[in-house]
Structure 1
């Protein structure tokens, strides 16, 4: 069995602050170690510069140098591989390539982006560092077709690019529920793109045929704004708040359709969860989102607005057989493509040869 060094420059998987990055990092550690290999979180150093500040970046580079010196000596002798998750221009990997060069380790990345447009401006130095870290990677796993565009264009040497579809931290599908209940929305309530999705939902609801109801799972600093958007619909809209895993699964089980427009989502784990539960999904056809949705249904373009989303919802709400058929197809696709066993196979098929050569 191999011993793997894992690092996430954007946010440690041990961070107390919930986020998609934290959950994805945790899921990746579980996936990599699913066959019994040891995965060590080797550093919690965070290189994130949200502001584009030269002063912050200089401080982080200095701290990174100290971390490189520490890890070059402290990394276990039997460590066989370094994996970095989410290297990008606001949080470049400032330590992994240097440690791997010092220790002679193969270096790979998961969900990295190359932002050549950021090589000028306030993040120029960090964008170059992220670009250099990408160049150091022997293998880069990409999660969406959108990420592949620049990774392929800027590929360094014999670097291998491998698709790793986003996955749920499950070995098998959950049992399927009755699915006879309301429309379900699951989304954090915060300003920006999330609130824009909620506004689009509020624009869609008046266009639905009679008899609908909606449950909303989620919470956050913009909850008052979301509640105001939904106030005109009265008791038809029920707020569930932030749910634990069991309660959220119950919400998926009783729902009939999952509805989340997905404005500027990277991909959206909620889509995987809903489809794993057997729900048909109504969303817009957007980069990233389309990578995790069941192919086939004509998801509306963002330019088509609320009217097209309402048409798709009405069609599903009025046709139980279509909902069952679509939900069953979605569950099969999740089982085949978006669970831990499939992800583990992809990961080790790509990195196994690197360990053999080492």
Structure 2
């Protein structure tokens, strides 16, 4: 089974770590897990973050050149299907549908979203391209119920929609956390939603006596100065670890007492899965996307604000045994739903619907 793989938002070989890159790599490994030979067909990034018509036009021209090249490559290589990851209005798949048509092979998508409101305005051209790509898919694997709602609403006749749970790129659990370390925050420092989560964290910590907690922040980015300013009132209670590689990040999880991340507009958040896999309980808000990866528990709604998050933090700080039990429930949840083997089987089933896999 020879598959072409493409991620228009960020190729899995990109230098900058992110959840999107990690998920792309995990998908390739899951496809290989079921015996597929996977070719990264293109590294063209189609993202337009500002709604610039000129940028969109230039990317569409580059995509046209890629299509010609890839049809020839796919014919020579004997690709059986094309799989694209993360098609949406700011980074549409401008390549996969045309190549799949040219080769007469199935076209599948993983994590796509529809945004009718973007069909007018500065992203209109790209939004229409993303809709066309979604319409062309024989199978769409959706990761969240939030995406599934619009996918079901607008699905063309005959399209198959399959729930693929977000998953870690491993088939076993890491060592269990000692739960003896500080509270952990693990997130990049970017403007917008990430900074909004950091703001909520600062508001929450201000409601808790400083002698009851310590907190480490793993992450870096363009907004580091702003994050440091938010955390300055807490002095030495907070330690900035900077960006960590995979091994160092795993070490941080294996000593953390809690993971604290509100999750403003997170698609789902692999960090939650990584923490829970190590048996670290999570304090987060009950948000769409985030709830897709959290073990059943008590997560306050966003409108409850910082006081509700502070109450949850103190509940764990004051009751170590409950913290340990919550961590074990989280670990069991990841083992049951969010590891490589389960994801690989779901992908196999979807490919089998197109006649590619058995």
> Normalized against structure 1, the TM-score is what?
0.96
What aligned pairs does 1:196-345 form with structure 2 within 5 A after superposition?
196-209=196-209, 210-295=211-296, 297-345=297-345
1:41 is matched with 40
Query: How many residues were matched structurally?
Result: 356
Shift of 1:12: 1.5
Q: Deviations over 1:256-313 (max 9, x none)?
A: 1111111111111110111001011000111111111112x22111111110000011
Does the Cα contact within 8 Å between 1:80 and 1:355 map onto a contact in 2?
A: no
Q: Does residue 6 of structure 2 align to residue 7 of structure 1?
A: yes
What aligned pairs does 1:92-107 form with structure 2 within 5 A after superposition?
92-107=92-107
Shift of 1:126: 1.4
| In structure 1, C-alpha distance between the alignment counterparts of 2:234 and 2:330, rounded to whole Å | 30
Regions of 4+ moved over 4 Å = none
CA RMSD of aligned residues (A): 1.5
The 3 A distance-change label for structure 1 pair 220 and 54 is closer
2:355 is matched with 355
| In structure 2, C-alpha distance between the alignment counterparts of 1:321 and 1:21, rounded to whole Å | 35
| In structure 2, C-alpha distance between the alignment counterparts of 1:129 and 1:176, rounded to whole Å | 45
1:166 is matched with 166
2:84 is matched with 84
| In structure 1, C-alpha distance between the alignment counterparts of 2:206 and 2:121, rounded to whole Å | 44
Q: Deviations over 1:217-271 (max 9, x none)?
A: 1111222221222222121111111112222112111111111111111111110
Shift of 1:50: 2.1
> Normalized against structure 2, the TM-score is what?
0.96
| In structure 2, C-alpha distance between the alignment counterparts of 1:183 and 1:299, rounded to whole Å | 17
Shift of 1:356: 4.7
Q: Look up the SS of the partner of 1:238 in the other structure.
A: strand
Shift of 1:129: 1.1
| In structure 2, C-alpha distance between the alignment counterparts of 1:54 and 1:251, rounded to whole Å | 43
Does the Cα contact within 8 Å between 1:81 and 1:355 map onto a contact in 2?
A: no
| In structure 2, C-alpha distance between the alignment counterparts of 1:18 and 1:176, rounded to whole Å | 24
Q: Does residue 38 of structure 2 align to residue 57 of structure 1?
A: no
| In structure 2, C-alpha distance between the alignment counterparts of 1:319 and 1:185, rounded to whole Å | 20
Gaps of 5+ in 2: none
The 3 A distance-change label for structure 1 pair 58 and 223 is closer
Shift of 1:20: 2.4
Does the Cα contact within 8 Å between 2:177 and 2:280 map onto a contact in 1?
A: no
Q: Deviations over 1:48-102 (max 9, x none)?
A: 2222222222222222222111111121342111000111111111111111111
| In structure 2, C-alpha distance between the alignment counterparts of 1:234 and 1:270, rounded to whole Å | 25
| In structure 2, C-alpha distance between the alignment counterparts of 1:228 and 1:51, rounded to whole Å | 27
Q: Look up the SS of the partner of 1:111 in the other structure.
A: strand
Gaps of 5+ in 1: none
Q: Deviations over 1:181-223 (max 9, x none)?
A: 2111111112221111111111111222542111111111222
2:124 is matched with 124
| In structure 2, C-alpha distance between the alignment counterparts of 1:276 and 1:158, rounded to whole Å | 37
1:143 is matched with 143
